[in-house]
Each structure stands twice: as structure tokens, then as C-alpha cells.
Amino acid sequence: MEISQITQWAFRLKHSAAFGAVAVFGTVGLTIATNAADEPAQQRSPTVSATAKSTIDGAEIFAREWIPGDTRSHGGDGLGPVFNDSSCVACHNQGGTGGAGPASKNVDIVTAFHAPQQQQRHQQAGQISLTRTLPDIVFQSVFGNLDSVPQQGPPEPDVAQQATAEDASQKPLSPAERAAAEQKFSAERQLKQVEADRKNLAKLHPGFAFANSVVLHKGATFAGYENWRSQMAGMQFGVQSVSRVDVQTFDPQVLAATEEHLSGQPQKKPQANNGGIVMAQLKQQVQMARQRGMNTSSRQGNFVITKSQRNTTALFGAGLIDSIPTEVLEALEKDQATGRVVSGRVARLKDGSAGRFGWKSQKSRLSDFVMTACAVEVGLNVPNHPQAGHPQKADYVPAGLDLNQAQCDALINYISDLPAPPQRKFGNEVDEGYIKGGHALFAKVGCADCHVEKVREVAGIFSDLLLHDMGGELGDTGSYDVFIPNSTPDGEVLQLTGLSGPASRIPTKVTGATRQEWRTPALWGVRDSAPYLHDGRAENLDQAIAMHGGESARSTQKFFALSDAERFQVISFLKSLVAPDPQVAAAK
């Protein structure tokens, strides 16, 4: 029996009876005992009644092409009113039904950062001018509360007088009391300004009244949307300039350690290596792609409006990921926190649950991830997940549901059963030895620190499912939501801090991921899931590795410190991780 078959068998056994499992983490070195019967209901994959499974075809729903006013809906409006495509399979099809999507299917996101233009007086000329460039504003503004105005110096004297309301009958305030009153008054004034600015910003898109990020959908079922979208998409967005990428100067200790580790012999002097040049060229290629308009910015009053994208992720093995208990993720987090080079953390959502799905681990359960996709991407009104709102008619409310609960359960069940991608079969002993050698190099340079091969009984996943700081070059907007009419303002804005090290980069309490944090993507099926990274900016695996920064910078240097032949061997190993055989998937 092959490993992938054993994994699937174990997964089904787990959900068919109380199943105690003891799993040894090959790379992490942890032993964890769990009992599925003792897990809270919300930590187990959603179960579907036998009737729903036998009478409703989840595969048909996944492939269904929706139309406006679809008669198959339950009093709803069918497709729309806004949507990114008309079916699930339209975006999830690479490597077979349920796979990733090409760059053409990227989701467009527009994010508003409150960043007033700060001014500073020149000492010599006495003139006032802007002190930061637009890219600087975008990067700096997201390292504080997204809805707070940066302090611009002490308040004017009259502010203190208004704040304290001192008169002859009052006892004079102490310096500390006076400073506190001034700060409170200034904060209240700034908050009022932010609220006023947000009202103006909501004129661009009503979703900005409720959230910092909104989806700019590709299509709509009502007239006039194309013109409106064109105005939004072309809203004086300017492409951030492409900076010159210097040839990477590797740390001599990194080179020596890499060569010593690989050869087993002490290295007094690093050998010549062209990896720095190769890495610089690859990063330059990626930056040139971004210059063509993938990530752009514009200023609208006191806000910087940034347009970014998210690439479609594969759904293969999603049910297995959903089955991993929170305690297992917490154990991985704890292990990495004990002096290791990388230090991932469990994504915590507002309700305290652990995130597992999405580029930012913004969803905890597969059911929520699937239903949100129905509501956001296809504009379907489903139970507990209202469809995306009408951006030009904020009071638009659908008459009913497009999918009922039984249909949703069938769809979730179908996606949950999509098989996990296997490693391709070896042609002969030479082929097997070469690929296994690439696998060993993959681990030796440190890639396996985050891309953990086995998590509990889920083998071949190559992910720890934790959030990691990937560096400023991969920094992007936080989690995004969909505009829902009559919803309440989010009210809880992520506190972002400087990310200078594993121990200090994260505040005590954080909801979601910071801009530089991304969930480690599972590498199973990676050969058939290009393009790579969260917005598809990397066209191939070499580019994707070159862009790894932050916690992974050291591993990236070690990879490019390998010889050309060794780097190719690692890439060959990654390309052995293929999408599931369509025949196997069809037989499920």
C-alpha cells in the first residue's frame, strides 16, 4: 500500500470511529498522542448526513456554472450581483479539478491605509515639504494602527487650554496631568478626523466604511459596473519604482557552514559561488513583473490606496488539513520557539480558534473557507455567509438563498474528500536516488524547518501551517473581507509592530496575521500549482525561493550557496510533488 493510500485510509478511519493516533514528527521530532473522539466538535471536519451524501452531488455543485437569476437557487439571485467567476472549478483547475489557479484568476484587493502626509520644515530654507515618498508611506503606515494618525509633535498651546479648561477656580494641573489631558484631547480630535476621512473614502467603495480592505470583483450582473470598476482600478494608481537589486553578498559563515554541512568536512575558506548573482537576477525578474501592475498605490486625501492580489490556492488534501487538531499546531509553535532559527506561530482568529486555511490563515475550518469563497468569489448567498454586496446600491438585499444547507454540506464534503497529492512514482533506481538526494538537500539547507513533511498522520504535506515573517519584500495587506450591506464596522484593527526578530516581532495579542506574515503553503502538488507566492509574482520555483526573506533568509542563502547542479536537484525533488492522478480523484 502506498503512503498516500495509507494516509487516506487513516483519515477515513479517524472519522468513522474513535481513533487514537500517535504521530512522530519526522523533521520536528515531537511525539503527540491524541484521541479524535475527545476533540471538540468545531475542531473536527464537518460531517454530512448519509441522505445529503446520496442525494446531492457535491462535484456537480463545484462544477456548476451559475447565471443571474438562476432557477436552481432557493429564491436567491443566482450569480452575483458581483463575482470573480461563475463557478468554483473556473478558478480551481490546475492539475485537475480542485487545483490552484493561474495568475489570470487572481483576486484583486484594494486596501486603504490611513496615512496623513507628514510635513517637516527645512532648517535652512524654512520651507515645508513632504518628507516621505509614496512607497515609504505605504510601508511605514502599516506598522502602526491602521486607523490611527501618526503623532506629529506636541499639540499647540491652545489645545492644552481647551483640554484642561483651566480657570481661576481650578487647581493648577501638574505637568504629568497636563500632558495626559493634552494627549487625550489630541487623540479625540484625531479620531474625529479619521471618521470624517472614512466617510469620504466610502464614496469610492461602500465597503471602506466597514473594513480596510475590499475585493474589487472582476464582473457584475448589473449595468454600469465595468465603468465604475475601471474608475476604481485606474484611480491614479502609480506603480512603485523598481529598485536596483545588488548582487547578494553571502555571509561567509553561511557559505562555510553550508559547505561543511553538505560535505562533512571543515571549511576554512568558502569556495567561489555564483549563487548571489543568480539570486539577484531572479529577484529582478520578479520585480519587473510587479512593475507591470501587480501591486500599485495611489493617494486619496489622508489615505494611501493600495491595490494587490491573491492567487487561487489548491484544495487537494483540504480535508486532511481540516482534521489536524489545534493542539498539534500549538506543539509545532512551541517547538519552534525554543531557540530555533525559525519561529512560527498559530494564527489566532477573533473567536480564539486557530487558523488553517488561506494565505493569512484567516479561516479556521474548511467549511468556513468554502462558504466564504462561495459568497465572495461567485456571489452566492449561503447560510451564515451573506453574498458580496452591491457596491452601487448599498441597501440591496437578496430575496433568498442560492444554496441551502444540504447543498452546502455536499459541497464541503466533496472538497474535504479531494485526495492529497502524492509524490510521483520513480522510473528506476537512478531516478529514485537523484530525487531522494534533492530531498536531503532540501532538508539540509533548512527548507524543512517550515515545510514540515509530516504533521500528525498527514504525510507529505510539507507545511507546518504556521504564520512566519517572510520579510518586507513580501509584505502586503492583511486579511481582506467582502462588503456586506448593513454590517457593523470591524472596530478591531490589527496592531502591527516592527518585525525585528522571532521573540519581539509579535504583540502579546494579535488577531490574524501581520503584513509580513504568511502561512507556510503546503508543497504537495507544487509542480502543478504555478505561479507561486501569495500573489503569483513568482513564475517558477527558483524565483519563489529567491523571494523568501525574513525568517527564511538564512535558508535562502544556503540554497543559493549550493552548486548549480545541487540547486537543480532540489528543484527536481520539488517537481516530484505532483497533483493527484485524475483517475484516483474521480474514483473517490
For 222-262, give the DSSP string: STTHHHHHHHHHTSS-EEPPPPP-PPP---HHHHHHHHHHH
> Which grid coordinates are listed for 548?
523568501
What is the average pLDDT across 354-375? 95
Residue 134: band (very low, low, confident or very high) from pLDDT cuts 50, 70, 90: very low
Secondary structure of 401-422 in the HEC alphabet?
ECCCHHHHHHHHHHHHCCCCCC
10 Å CB burial of residue 345 (0-12, 13-18, 19+) is buried
pLDDT value of position 509: 55
Out of 111-125, 209-223, 339-353, 401-415, which region has the weakest mean confidence (pLDDT)? 111-125
What pLDDT, on the 0 to 100 scale, is given for residue 475? Answer: 84
Strands 467-469 and 128-130: unpaired
Cβ distance 15 to 45 under 8 Å? Answer: yes
State yes or no: pLDDT of 214 exceeds 70.
yes
Q: Are the CB atoms for 149 and 187 separated by under 8 Å?
A: no
> Cα(199)–Cα(350) distance, rounded to whole angstroms?
26
Q: Give the confidence band of 197 by pLDDT, cuts at 50, 70, 90.
A: confident
Averaged pLDDT for residues 343-353 = 90
Neighbours of 243 (CB within 10 A): 10
**What is the arithmetic mean of pLDDT over 327-332?**
96
The answer, yes or no, to whether residue 444 has pLDDT greater than 70, is: yes
The H or E element containing residue 110 is strand 107-114
Question: Taking residues 78-92, what's their average pLDDT?
Answer: 97
Which pLDDT belongs to residue 64?
Answer: 97
Average of pLDDT values for 362-379? 95
Q: Does the pLDDT value for residue 420 go beyond 70? A: yes
DSSP state of 114: E
Residue type, 89: V
pLDDT average, residue stretch 45-60: 64
Kindly indicate the confidence band of residue 258, based on its pLDDT and cuts at 50, 70 and 90: low
Which pLDDT value is given to residue 295? 58
Say which residue, 187 or 516, is predicted with more confidence: 516
pLDDT over 70 (residue 70): yes
pLDDT (mean) for 235-264:
52
What pLDDT, on a 0 to 100 scale, did the predictor assign at position 183? 84
pLDDT at 374: 97
Average pLDDT over residues 541-551: 95
Task: Report the C-alpha gap between 399 and 77 in whole angstroms.
Answer: 7
For range 247-273, the mean pLDDT? 57
Nearest to 473 by CA among 539, 547, 558: 547
The verdict on whether omega for the bond into residue 531 sits within 30 degrees of 0, i.e. cis, is yes
- pLDDT higher for 542 or 112? 542
Burial of 221 (0-12, 13-18, 19+ CB in 10 A): middle
**Summary mean pLDDT of the chain:** 76
pLDDT band at 111 (very low <50, low <70, confident <90, very high): confident
Residue 318 has pLDDT above 80, yes or no: yes
User: Taking a C-beta distance cutoff of 8 angstroms, is the pair 519, 349 a contact?
Assistant: no
Considering only 46-50, 453-457, 582-586, which range has the smallest mean pLDDT? 46-50
pTM of the model: 0.75
Give me 530's grid cell.
504555478
d(CA 168, CA 508): 45
Average pLDDT of 292-316? 79
CB-CB contact of 303 with 201 (8 Å): yes
C-alpha distances out from residue 356 to 338, 362, 364, Å: 22, 7, 5
Q: How confident is the model at residue 48 (pLDDT cuts 50, 70, 90)?
A: very low
| Grid coordinates given for 157 | 498651546
Which has the higher per-residue pLDDT, 261 or 365? 365
Whole-angstrom distance, CA of residue 456 vs CA of residue 39: 15
Say if CB 412 and CB 375 are below 8 A apart: no
Q: Taking a C-beta distance cutoff of 8 angstroms, is the pair 402, 411 a contact?
A: no
What percentage of the chain exceeds 70 in pLDDT?
65
Most confident option among 121-125, 138-142, 205-209, 330-334: 330-334
**What confidence category does residue 18 fall into, taking pLDDT thresholds of 50, 70 and 90?**
very low
* Mean pLDDT value across residues 411-435: 97
